[in-house]
């Protein structure tokens, strides 16, 4: 909501010419989010400070979106009116547009002169420990000083907020400084671009054409724009989360957003294991001679893609309880332009493994790849009933993490699960006990296959049970 821009270039009051805003006046400009005010708390020959204050209308903010935005509480109690986020960036672009383009008829010689500048952003949102501010601004010639704002001084145990009181100093052309702020503030802000229109996002990125290509973090910057250009229409799940005073991320987590996938800090650790796992599952299915296969809990459809690639699988049904997952699978597999012949082999449908579903009966094989650990242990008998008791495929392949192997992951804190939604992670003995019970109760034989390097001490990272009847 607030940005101050200070220069000590002499005479400092030339800042008024550069910004096209008179130092002794208070000016108001209507912008899309509300009203932007420009005034000068200080205007001396040796120091001059311009302040841009964005007055966001919180009620209008909500009302303007009602038509296509659905209702969620986050829209009403939100930080937008108080932070230096994308709305402030849009205001910079609107109020200082001439300055940003480097136009100054009164003092044309000033435009190309780097001047000493100090930018103060008291509430700059930034993910993580704040180092991203340094990573984004330092390569452009800024010195960054920033301290975290605590969430609530009365509850020190809550820790810091994601806002940082930030001061940038440097000697730069004013026009460059403004484009830096214009582009990098929304990149830091991250999650909230749905407050501004998609066309404005394009505009933001276009402005950076001069310096972004040479920026060492250019990929990070572009990605943070794309990652958060989410649909305006939020999910029904969001409303259910709200009914429960829960963040939507806590329940709408059936699949990881593809863009967030890319953001994953260590994708190299997980990727090859997932590939190995799918390979092992496919090998087992081929060995069993399965042709009609269920992928129960198909998620984003990685295994479906592999199954489609092998014509010996004549009928493939991807099942997931999450509509988000099914939509993602549909997108990733490009169902809309898949050849008719291939398309005919695949069906995607929503179902839940804790309910009996008659249409899943009669298949050669069912795969539950990294699925059971997402089901509460108390609900496993229901899953057992619906898969082994009712659907009764000839072969069932189940994979799940081997918790013993977790000690081999250096980045995983001891005692933590590999995924926040995991309800349990089992040792080989625990998995064996469950699997043999299932087999005995339902008339299956079971064998175990390690997936990934079988560590002599702690076993493989993934354990797999193959049931057959």
Partner 1 sequence: MSILRIPDMALVVLVGASGSGKSTFARTHFPSTAVLSSDTFRGMVADDENDQSATQPAFEALHFVAGKRLDAGRVTVIDATNVQQSSRAPLVALARAHDVLPVAIVLDLPEAVCQARNVERPDRDFGPHVIRRQRADLRRSLRGLAREGFRRVHVLRSVEEVEAARIEIEPLLNDKREERGPFDVIGDVHGCRIELEQLLGELGYTITRDGADRAIGAHHPEGRRTVFVGDLVDRGPDTPGVLRLAMGMVAAGDAFCVSGNHEQKLVRSLSGRKVQVTHGLAESLAQLGEQDEEFRKQALEFCDGLIAHYVLDGGSLVVAHAGLPERFHGRASSRVRSFALYGDTTGETDEYGLPIRYPWANEYRGRATVVYGHTPVPEAEWINNTICLDTGAVFGGALTALRYPEREIVSVDAQQVWYEPARPLVPDAPSPREPDVLDIADVTGKRIVTAQHHGNVTVTAEQSAAALEVMSRFAVDPRWLVYLPPTMAPTATSTLPGVLEHPQEAFGGFRDAGVQEVVCEEKHMGSRAVVLVCKESGARRFGIDGGGVVVTRTGRPFFGSELTGELLDGVRAAVTAAGLWDELATDWLLLDAELLPWSAKAGGLIREQYAAVGAAAQVGLGAADGVLAAAAARGVDVGELAAGIRTRVDAATAFRAAYRRYCWPTDGLRGVQLAPFQVLAAEGAAFHTRPHSWHIALADRLVEADPVLFKRTATVVVDTTDERSTAAATAWWDELTGAGGEGMVVKPMTNLTRGARGGLVQPGVKVRGREYLRIIYGPDYTAPSNLDRLRARKLGTKRSLALREYALGIEALDRLARDEPLWRVHECVFAVLALESQPVDPRL
User: For residues 346-375, which are near partner 1 according to CB under 8 A?
Assistant: 350-358, 374-375
Min separation Cβ 56 and partner 1, Å: 10
Site for partner 1 in 155-194 (CB under 8 A): 155, 157-158, 161-163, 165
- Which residue, 207 or 371, is less far from partner 1 as judged by CB? 371
- Which residue, 381 or 437, is less far from partner 1 as judged by CB? 381
**335, 397, 462 from 298: Cα distances, Å:** 15, 13, 17
- Which residue, 72 or 94, is less far from partner 1 as judged by CB? 72
Is position 327 an interface residue for partner 1 (rule: CB under 8 A)? no
- What token pair was written down for 160? 């810091």
CA 279-282-286 angle, 5° bins: 140
**94, 174, 381 from 190: Cα distances, Å:** 21, 25, 42
C-alpha 246/C-alpha 252 separation (Å) is 11
Is position 73 an interface residue for partner 1 (rule: CB under 8 A)? yes
Is position 436 an interface residue for partner 1 (rule: CB under 8 A)? no
C-alpha 21/C-alpha 12 separation (Å) is 13
Site for partner 1 in 285-324 (CB under 8 A): 321-323
- Which residue, 151 or 446, is less far from partner 1 as judged by CB? 151
Stretch that binds partner 1, among 56-64, 215-223, 309-317, 427-435 (CB under 8 A): 56-64
Stretch that binds partner 1, among 146-154, 215-223, 259-267, 331-339 (CB under 8 A): 146-154
Is position 402 an interface residue for partner 1 (rule: CB under 8 A)? no
Applying CB under 8 A, which of residues 154, 336, 340, 410 lies at the interface with partner 1? Answer: 154
- Which residue, 171 or 382, is less far from partner 1 as judged by CB? 382
C-alpha 464/C-alpha 79 separation (Å) is 47
Site for partner 1 in 96-135 (CB under 8 A): 120, 122-123
Is position 82 an interface residue for partner 1 (rule: CB under 8 A)? yes
Which residues fall within 8 angstroms of residue 289, CB to CB, at 6 or more apart?
364
Min separation Cβ 449 and partner 1, Å: 27
CA dihedral 104, 109, 115, 117 (to 10 degrees): -10
C-alpha 215/C-alpha 71 separation (Å) is 38
Is position 49 an interface residue for partner 1 (rule: CB under 8 A)? yes
- Which residue, 86 or 280, is less far from partner 1 as judged by CB? 86
Residue 267 contacts residue 228 (beta carbons within 8 Å): no
| Residues near partner 1 (CB under 8 A), total | 79
Min separation Cβ 453 and partner 1, Å: 31
Backbone angles phi, psi at 321, to 5 degrees: -85, -15
Q: Give the residue among 425, 432, 378, 390 at the shortest CA–CA distance from 294.
A: 390
C-alpha 5/C-alpha 38 separation (Å) is 11
Min separation Cβ 265 and partner 1, Å: 21
- What token pair was written down for 85? 């986020």
Min separation Cβ 42 and partner 1, Å: 6
Applying CB under 8 A, which of residues 127, 139, 150, 450 lies at the interface with partner 1? Answer: 150
**136, 226, 410 from 85: Cα distances, Å:** 15, 16, 35
What does the DSSP 8-state code read for residue 387?
A: I
Is position 152 an interface residue for partner 1 (rule: CB under 8 A)? yes
Min separation Cβ 76 and partner 1, Å: 6
Min separation Cβ 225 and partner 1, Å: 22
Residue 323 contacts residue 353 (beta carbons within 8 Å): no
- Which residue, 162 or 215, is less far from partner 1 as judged by CB? 162
- What token pair was written down for 404? 């013993």
Is position 256 an interface residue for partner 1 (rule: CB under 8 A)? no
Question: In 244-300, where does DSSP find H-type helix?
Answer: 248-251, 258-263, 267-287
Would you give the binding string for partner 1 spanning residues 13-32, x where CB under 8 A is met? Answer: -----------xxx------
- Which residue, 14 or 306, is less far from partner 1 as judged by CB? 14
Is position 70 an interface residue for partner 1 (rule: CB under 8 A)? yes
């Amino acid at each position: 909501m607030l940005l101050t821009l200070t220069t000590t270039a002499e005479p400092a009051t030339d800042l008024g010419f550069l910004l096209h805003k008179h130092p002794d006046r208070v000016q108001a400009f209507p912008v899309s989010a509300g009203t932007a005010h420009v005034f000068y708390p200080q205007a001396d020959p040796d120091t001059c400070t311009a302040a841009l204050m964005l007055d966001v209308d919180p009620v209008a903010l909500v009302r303007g979106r009602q038509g296509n935005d659905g209702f969620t509480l986050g829209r009403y109690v939100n930080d937008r009116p108080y932070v230096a986020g994308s709305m402030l960036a849009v205001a910079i672009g609107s109020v200082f547009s001439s300055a940003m383009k480097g136009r100054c008829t009164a003092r044309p010689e000033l435009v190309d002169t780097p001047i000493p500048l100090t930018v103060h952003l008291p509430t700059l949102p930034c993910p993580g420990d704040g180092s991203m501010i340094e990573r984004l601004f330092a390569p452009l010639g800024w010195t960054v000083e920033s301290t975290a704002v605590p969430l609530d001084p009365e509850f020190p145990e809550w820790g810091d907020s994601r806002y940082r009181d930030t001061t940038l100093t440097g000697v730069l052309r004013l026009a460059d400084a403004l484009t830096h702020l214009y582009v990098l503030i929304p990149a830091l802000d991250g999650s909230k671009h749905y407050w501004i229109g998609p066309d404005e996002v394009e505009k933001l990125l276009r402005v950076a054409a001069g310096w972004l290509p040479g920026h060492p973090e250019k990929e990070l910057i572009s990605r943070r724009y794309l990652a958060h250009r989410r649909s305006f229409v939020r999910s029904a799940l969001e409303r259910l989360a709200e009914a429960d005073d829960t963040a939507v991320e806590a329940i709408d987590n059936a699949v990881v957003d593809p863009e967030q996938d890319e953001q994953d800090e260590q994708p190299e650790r997980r990727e090859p294991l997932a590939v190995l796992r799918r390979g092992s599952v496919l090998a087992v299915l081929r060995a069993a001679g399965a042709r009609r296969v269920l992928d129960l809990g198909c998620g984003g459809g990685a295994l479906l893609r592999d199954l489609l690639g092998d014509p010996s699988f004549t009928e493939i049904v991807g099942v997931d309880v999450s509509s988000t997952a099914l939509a993602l699978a549909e997108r990733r597999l490009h169902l809309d332009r898949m050849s008719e012949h291939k398309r005919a082999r695949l069906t995607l449908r929503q179902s839940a493994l804790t309910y009996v579903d008659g249409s899943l009966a009669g298949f050669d094989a069912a795969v539950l790849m990294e699925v059971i650990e997402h089901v509460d242990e108390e609900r496993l008998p229901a899953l057992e009933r619906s898969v082994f008791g009712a659907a009764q495929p000839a072969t069932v392949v189940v994979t799940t993490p081997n918790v013993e192997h977790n000690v081999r992951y250096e980045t995983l804190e001891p005692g933590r699960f590999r995924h926040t939604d995991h309800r349990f992670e089992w040792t080989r003995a625990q998995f064996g006990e469950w699997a043999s019970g299932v087999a005995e109760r339902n008339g299956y034989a079971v064998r175990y296959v390690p997936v990934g390097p079988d560590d002599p001490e702690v076993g493989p990272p993934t354990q797999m049970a193959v049931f057959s009847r």
